[in-house]
Structure 1
Amino acid sequence: MSICPVDFHFQFALDRFENAKKVVIGGHSVGAHLAFQAVTRIQDLRISGAFLSAGIYKLHELVNTKYGRDLALTPEEADLCSCDYDLLKTVKFPILIANCKLESPKLFQQNVEFSQLVKNAQYKEYAGEDHFSILTELTNENSVVHNDFYKFLHSI
């Protein structure tokens, strides 16, 4: 049985930047899944926020897809490694969930449900963006995605 091994990598980054007063952990797609796991498992007072973009949190839906088969993902592993939304209900820092309206319906719905269950999360939905274009828009200083992200960072 496999585990979701994020602790070591995020702890390494926190140790590497030991003088940082604040740390925001973020990720996109599966990276959002890993960021979720990190902020719910690593206890470090410098973690001041989380940015989760187009996340894949419930892995069970992937088991019978091409990706799941390529990874030999079993239903048991998917359940073990899926995110438990209840774990974020107790965090004290802000969370920004960025969702793409042009996302696959199941992933779009996962992000909507996640945002509704975690009351301390801000939810932003981008009508004209898909799973990949949202990343491009993060670098476009004139985009709503970019501006929302920087407002979030500056609010921390």
Structure 2
Amino acid sequence: MIKSILFGSKLCQRVITVYLLLIYVHTGYAMAQYIPEEISEKIWECIGIYSDGRMQSQFDKKSYTMTFNSDGTVYVLADCNQGKASAKFVEGGLVEIQRLTTTRAMCPPESLSNEFIDHMRNMRKWQNQGGKLFILGADNGILLEFEEKL
């Protein structure tokens, strides 16, 4: 009887739900992640979006940006859309973008917003060479190319 009172009550169910939610938050966004210092706390402007092995560069680089924050969050500007995610970096240049959520505004027909966001979701590796940040996919092919905003 005591077991059904304790574990069957609405109050107990709410307490357990809040507790599980706190565990989830603690292991997700709230937990500090390792972000490489060389790319952290900088705004990166996209200068190339790759598709089928070809680079598209005819777009306003100020409209496609990415910022890795020291707390593990990533902010994305994709033309008329904005997004937020968490990043998990591991040794060897591997990175995983988790829980990328974005607005779903209707950008102009020539926008590369959807392609940019898809590439962000498919990010698997990063390289910082010559002041440029390259985002690579699972096949090591370049998806996005960035330069630091000055």
Q: Which has the higher strand share?
A: 2
TM-score bracket relative to the smaller structure: under 0.3
| TM-score for both structures, normalised by structure 1 | 0.25
Q: Which has the higher helix share?
A: 1
| TM-score for both structures, normalised by structure 2 | 0.26
